[in-house]
């Protein structure tokens, strides 16, 4: 009889299946970066699957798109002796190379602080930095967010997710031209009363193609050959410009 009680306990400890589940899709799951790549737009859409009537309270949807994370050194410059020099720095352990968060309502109506901390949904929570958590260094993380926001790499799109009859939803996220190659993760969150009731994720592959891909692989896999090629091109370009200038003068 004890084994029956043990099985009952194990099943009782398993999380219950969510009453509302995300079913989502993307307009494209592969993005090619070529020499004339000037950005792209991803259409994100989905629906809420239910086995029971719609629960009470408004349904909200939060969607994030995150690029590969990387360590970043944030430096502060100060003017000393008439020149600008680096006087302080903070090492950020991991910051997404691209991050966009879109909501269907105001931020505080979409997600609570507790759930944001748990799932790391906001831009600030998505950045992992032990050094920047020391009192007096918070401005370094704020500066990183401000710079990347200005470059279109960090986006907060409040109220851009359209929800129809608490069942269908869609939005669009603009990807800038200065994307880093790698795997991008799209996360979907259903919330009620600021609490996450279900989540789901899909991947987007961003890859360089053509000449961009060739030069990228050459620079990383055969740095000596890349250096020789770059030097040869520079010498040839200089010689060509000099020859053209002499021809014009004559």
- Averaged pLDDT, 53-63: 90
pLDDT at 8: 41
pLDDT at 6: 38
Q: Is the pLDDT of residue 219 over 90?
A: no
Token pair belonging to 8: 């009952």
CA distance 55 to 195: 13
Q: Tens digits of per-residue pLDDT, 180-208?
A: 889 999 999 999 999 999 999 999 999 87
pLDDT at 54: 84
- Averaged pLDDT, 211-223: 53
Confidence grade of residue 72 (pLDDT, cut at 50, 70, 90): confident
Strand, coil or helix: 243: helix
**Torsions phi, psi for 183 (to 5 deg):** -95, 125
Q: Is the pLDDT of residue 210 over 60?
A: no
Q: Tens digits of per-residue pLDDT, 168-178?
A: 999 999 999 88
Alpha-carbon Rg of the chain, whole angstroms? 25
Strand, coil or helix: 51: coil
Strand, coil or helix: 55: coil
The residue with greater pLDDT, 240 or 165, is: 165
The residue with greater pLDDT, 80 or 68, is: 68
pLDDT at 128: 80
What does pLDDT average to over the chain? 80
Q: Percent of the chain, pLDDT > 90?
A: 46
CA atoms within 13 A on the CB side of 87: 8
Q: Is the pLDDT of residue 244 over 90?
A: no
Q: Tens digits of per-residue pLDDT, 73-119?
A: 877 766 666 666 556 677 788 899 999 999 999 999 999 999 999 99
Q: Percent of the chain, pLDDT > 70?
A: 68
Q: Which residue's entry shows tokens 């969150």?
A: 189
């Amino acid at each position: 009889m004890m084994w029956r009680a043990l099985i009952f306990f194990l099943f009782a400890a398993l999380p219950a299946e969510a009453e509302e589940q995300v079913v989502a899709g993307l307009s494209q799951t592969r993005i090619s970066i070529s020499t004339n790549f000037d950005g792209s737009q991803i259409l994100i859409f989905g629906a809420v699957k239910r086995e029971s009537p719609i629960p009470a309270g408004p349904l909200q949807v939060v969607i994030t798109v995150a690029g590969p994370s990387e360590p970043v050194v944030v430096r502060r410059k100060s003017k000393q002796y008439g020149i600008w020099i680096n006087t302080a720095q903070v090492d950020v352990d991991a910051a997404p190379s691209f991050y966009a968060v879109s909501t269907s309502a105001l931020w505080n109506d979409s997600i609570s602080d507790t759930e944001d901390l748990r799932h790391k949904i906001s831009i600030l929570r998505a950045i992992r930095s032990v050094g920047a958590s020391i009192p007096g260094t918070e401005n370094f993380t704020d500066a990183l967010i401000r710079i990347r926001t200005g470059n279109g790499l960090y986006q907060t799109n409040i109220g851009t997710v359209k929800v129809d009859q608490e069942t269908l939803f869609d939005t669009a996220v603009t990807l800038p031209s200065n994307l880093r190659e790698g795997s991008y993760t799209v996360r979907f969150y259903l919330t009620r009363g600021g609490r996450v009731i279900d989540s789901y994720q899909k991947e987007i592959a961003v890859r360089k193609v053509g000449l961009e891909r060739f030069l990228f692989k050459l620079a990383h896999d055969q740095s000596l050959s890349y250096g020789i090629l770059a030097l040869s091109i520079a010498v040839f370009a200089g010689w060509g410009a000099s020859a053209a200038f002499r021809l014009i003068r004559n």
